[in-house]
Amino acid sequence: MNTEVGPVRVGGVLPPLEIEITRTLIVAGAIASRDYQDVHHDAELARQKGSPDIFMNILTTNGLVGRYITDRFGPRSVLRRVAIRLGAPNYPGDTMVLTGTVEAIEGDTATVRVVGANGIGRHVTGTVTVTVPGADGADGAQGAEGIEGAEGAAVQEAGSRP
């Protein structure tokens, strides 16, 4: 079993990603994922149901976790498995900071433990399995850019990935 690919190794820590939690992000994420639950867009109804405000849905969180991993592993990366669990809600006005630790590497595939924390606690925890074709060196010299880029690559703008 591999424990290292380029500068990314088991136990390696990925750079954090700060995401400002806005009303627009919460509502747009709910609409995009066709989640019309009132707690994701109507503050008054959310309060009537015991929440201090609207809050982010799990599908938006799942997408942000996927973005975090693919931004760090590069445009050739492919998410193979995303397994997350929600904790503290993401409310408007807070900031979520996503962090990741490489738990395992097998060939061109890495398993990353992801945590997303906000001002009241851990919003999301889980693991993501990501493959970077050729990162294990099977594709020759170009393969080295795959998993290796996880710690050195610049973060892409959110809209730059298809």
Give me the count of residues in the chain: 162
pLDDT at 152: 37
CA max distance for the chain: 59
Q: What is the pLDDT of residues 1-41, one digit of tens each?
A: 556 444 568 999 999 999 999 999 999 999 999 999 999 99
What's the pLDDT tens digit per position in 43-67? 999 999 999 999 999 999 999 999 9
Query: What angle do helix axes 23-32 and 58-73 make, rounded to 10 degrees?
Result: 100
Amino acid 49: pLDDT: 97
Q: Give the pLDDT band (50/70/90) at residue 134.
A: confident
How far is residue 75's CA from residue 53's CA, in Å, rounded to a whole number?
36
Closest CA to 101 of 92, 110, 93, 91: 110
Higher pLDDT, 141 or 100: 100
Count the neighbouring beta carbons within 10 Å of the beta carbon of residue 68.
Answer: 23
Residue 149 clears pLDDT 70, i.e. is over it: no
Residue 66 in 3-state DSSP?
Answer: helix
pTM over 0.75: yes
Q: What is the pLDDT of residues 67-122, one digit of tens each?
A: 999 999 998 999 999 999 999 999 999 999 999 999 999 999 999 999 999 999 99
Compare 103 and 135 and report the one with higher pLDDT: 103
